[in-house]
């Protein structure tokens, strides 16, 4: 790889990680429209992998789900770490990270806070607007205030998308 290609790859990695940080910040600000702006028009988001429960196709479905979910959220805090960025092509990247999120809901204390530990498996693609999410998969390792557990076990690495 040439020096210019190496520098471009480093810059792309920074831009991709910052886009994911922006996604988390918008989630914490309860701003679904800004979250959705970081996706491609033909995106696929899977918030319950393997179940088909929250498989969302396109920005319209994603906007409706995030708007409804955040309407009953009072506050949240989303964090990512252990980031891995694997280039499939110069314009397509598989992004893998660990995540932690906390959310408080309008029904608290009857509706418990949710603490979730898990992973993101995402695909980013380069667009004229910058790097955008074309695929998002949220995998839960475990939760307090929820029942999801162990979804990360036995998954392929690097993540595979259809």
Number of structural domains the chain divides into: 1
Q: Are 38 and 32 in contact (CB under 8 A)?
A: no
> Residue 9: which H helix or E strand, with range?
helix 3-28
Do the domain assignments include residue 160? Answer: no
Residues of the domain holding 110? 3-144
Do the domain assignments include residue 21? Answer: yes
pLDDT digits (tens, 9 = 90+) for 125-161: 999 999 999 999 999 999 998 888 999 999 999 999 9
Q: What is the pTM assigned to this prediction?
A: 0.94
Q: Are 57 and 26 in contact (CB under 8 A)?
A: no
Give the closest residue to 86 by CA, choosing from 11, 13, 2, 161. 13
| pLDDT value of position 84 | 98
How many Cβ atoms are within 10 Å of 44's Cβ, its own excluded? 20
| pLDDT value of position 49 | 80
Do the domain assignments include residue 97? Answer: yes
């Amino acid at each position: 790889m040439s020096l210019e290609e190496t520098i471009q790859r480093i810059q792309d990695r920074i831009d991709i990680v910052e886009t994911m940080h922006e996604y988390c910040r918008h989630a914490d600000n309860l701003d679904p429209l800004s979250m959705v702006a970081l996706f491609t028009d033909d995106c696929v988001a899977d918030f319950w992998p393997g179940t088909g429960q929250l498989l969302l196709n396109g920005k319209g479905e994603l906007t409706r789900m995030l708007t409804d979910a955040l309407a009953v959220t009072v506050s949240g805090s989303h964090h990512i770490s252990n980031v891995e960025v694997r280039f499939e092509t110069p314009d397509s990247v598989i992004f893998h990270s660990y995540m932690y999120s906390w959310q408080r809901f309008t029904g608290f204390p009857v509706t418990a806070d949710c603490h979730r530990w898990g992973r993101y498996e995402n695909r980013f693609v380069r667009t004229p607007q910058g790097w955008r999410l074309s695929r998002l998969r949220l995998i839960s390792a475990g939760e307090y205030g929820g029942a999801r557990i162990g979804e990360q076990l036995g998954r392929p690495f690097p993540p595979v998308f259809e």
